[in-house]
Structure 1
Amino acid sequence: MASKPRAASTPPLPLFYRDPLPLSASVHAAWRLKEGDAAFAQDAAYAPLVLGELAAASASYPVVFAGEQAAPVAILGLEQRNLFVADGQWAPFVHVPAYVRRYPFGFIATRDPDDFVLAIDAGSDRVVQAGEEGEPLFEDGKPSALTLRALAFCDAFKSEAAATAAFSQALLDKGLLIERRADATLPDGRKLGLEGFQIVDYEAFQALDSDTLVDWHAKGWLALINFHLASLDRFRVLLDREGAAAVEGGAT
């Protein structure tokens, strides 16, 4: 579930982003953003999640934990493709992760580790660097309404990300996460395997001490763990979608 390997001297870019740049009224005064679709996410087999959307995401996708920080992610496909995007459109009636909805905007850290600036992916097909197409990012030297909305959304996302990290760290500290892999055989006989993720060990979860249970209940974490565990049944949905995609791909 890791990003494509890059040169050791180059830090990996966040998922989807190709050329993130901090926005500046003086440098990007003429830049605009045109309407777009979800085609940028069509090859993503997963998407990061934040705490406030975990319950909603669990109704649509398997929600698991990945990486050293045990970050929660939604599994979008069993291969390197998103089974919920077709012809640039996200499947109806399923939750679209906030990480996807904020793109092509995001935050970039400054030299101050506690300070961030709004950025945009200059590599996005939606970014227009000259001309009149799309909505302006700046007007009269000030952020436009579009940019202010993006700033508010990214700020809320950052706050949620901090809460998410605290939740994940608590799961790690209590030793609740165990490695798992998912194996499936498609109708055409192909075998697929997904590994590199963790789930909550139900028995260890049931054995939590009473003080922790009271604390986590007050924080809403117990419900989130139960949503996560219930979401694992969504692997069947992925298998069904993968099988349907294989049939469509083989149709003549």
Structure 2
Amino acid sequence: MAALMFYQEPTALDKKKHIDLKLNRTSDYSFASGVNSVPLGGVEFFHASRDFPILFIKNEKGEYLPMAILSLKSDSHDLGDDWKEAYIPAFIRRYPFAMTSERVIMFDAKAPHFESDEGEALFEGEDKPTETLKQIVGFLEQIDLGFRRTEDFSKALGEKELFEPYNATVKFKNGEVKMNDLFCINEKKLHEALDKDELQEWFNKGWIAWCHAHLHSLSSMPEIIKRQRKTLEEPGQPEEAPAEETKAEETKA
């Protein structure tokens, strides 16, 4: 599971200390405005593939991790604060809560979701969890399971040497953006690397479907270019830097 990148004050939820804590749900995702990619679970690939390219990064341990590429900007995206009409990854939707590998429920004590005395209580009676908290914990457990399954999937792809570098140059009128240090599945190798039993095993685990969803997602690159172009054309934005509409040049090493 990726680090708590949005959380200003990660705090372990304690039924004694936080008995009066109330949650105000919101569709404001401004807390994620400073990122251009987020981790993605394999079960999300199909939903996300319509809006974002799904590419793999390699961490300091040499592990491959799938990421939803939100933008070609270095530290932001063009989805606004409500992510209107775009898929919202579970990594975003779980905020302001998270669950550690030790299954400790965390929350961001500085999240605006807790700034009011009004909202949905998390505990009731003798410090018992409310239905709201039970639903939150269930969602976090589902996300945790999904990410662990995705780690197994990515590890298997790496062991089969099915990754290849993904290099792309996207040209704009005032310059270009180079995408490096990213990886995608080599479709030809995928079809050749698995024997009959492995193919059946991967199919049963849903991994074959995830592979195809990932490959399909690469055709979503024009979507993030389009969003960036639209943002640049909005009033108040620099007029000299709109993206060219069809100038994405993609190469794979």
Q: In structure 2, which of residues 206, 225, 247 is the aligned counterpart of residue 220 of structure 1? A: 206
Cα offsets for 1:18-38 (capped at 9, x unmatched):
221110011111222223311
Aligned to 1:180: 166
Describe how 1:44-123 pairs up with structure 2 within 5 A: 44-67=35-58, 68-79=62-73, 80-83=75-78, 85-86=79-80, 88-92=81-85, 94-109=86-101, 115-123=102-110
Q: Which amino acid aligns with 2:36?
A: A
**TM-aligned CA deviation for residue 238 of structure 1:** 1.1
2:51–2:224 Cα contact (<8 Å) kept: no
Q: In structure 2, which of residues 26, 30, 33 is the aligned counterpart of residue 39 of structure 1? A: 30
Provide the secondary structure at the position in 2 that maps to 1:192.
strand
CA shift in 2, pair 1:82/1:132, >3 Å? same
1:51–1:161 Cα contact (<8 Å) kept: yes
CA shift in 2, pair 1:66/1:118, >3 Å? same
The reply on whether 1:160 has 2:152 as its aligned counterpart is no
Q: Give me the whole-angstrom Cα distance separating, in 2, the residues matched to 1:168 and 1:76.
A: 20
Describe how 1:182-221 pairs up with structure 2 within 5 A: 182-186=168-172, 188-211=173-196, 212-221=198-207
Q: Which amino acid aligns with 2:39?
A: P
**TM-aligned CA deviation for residue 13 of structure 1:** 4.3
1:22–1:108 Cα contact (<8 Å) kept: no
Percentage of pairs with the same residue: 27
Q: Give me the whole-angstrom Cα distance separating, in 1, the residues matched to 2:194 and 2:153.
A: 17
Q: Give me the whole-angstrom Cα distance separating, in 2, the residues matched to 1:202 and 1:176.
A: 8
Question: TM-score, with normalisation over the residues of structure 1?
Answer: 0.84
Q: Give me the whole-angstrom Cα distance separating, in 2, the residues matched to 1:235 and 1:199.
A: 13
2:43–2:210 Cα contact (<8 Å) kept: no
**TM-aligned CA deviation for residue 179 of structure 1:** 2.0
Structure 1's consecutive aligned runs of 4 or more residues displaced over 6 angstroms after TM superposition are none
CA shift in 2, pair 1:73/1:183, >3 Å? same
The reply on whether 1:247 has 2:228 as its aligned counterpart is no
2:121–2:132 Cα contact (<8 Å) kept: yes
**TM-aligned CA deviation for residue 133 of structure 1:** 2.5
Count of residue pairs brought into register by the alignment: 230
1:178–1:201 Cα contact (<8 Å) kept: yes
Structure 1 portions without partners, runs of 5+: 1-11, 110-114
Q: Which amino acid aligns with 1:90?
A: W
Q: Which amino acid aligns with 1:51?
A: G
Structure 2 portions without partners, runs of 5+: 240-253
Provide the secondary structure at the position in 2 that maps to 1:203.
helix
Aligned to 1:14: 4
Q: Give me the whole-angstrom Cα distance separating, in 2, the residues matched to 1:48 and 1:172.
A: 17
1:54–1:227 Cα contact (<8 Å) kept: yes
Q: Give me the whole-angstrom Cα distance separating, in 1, the residues matched to 2:175 and 2:119.
A: 44
Provide the secondary structure at the position in 1 that maps to 2:104.
strand
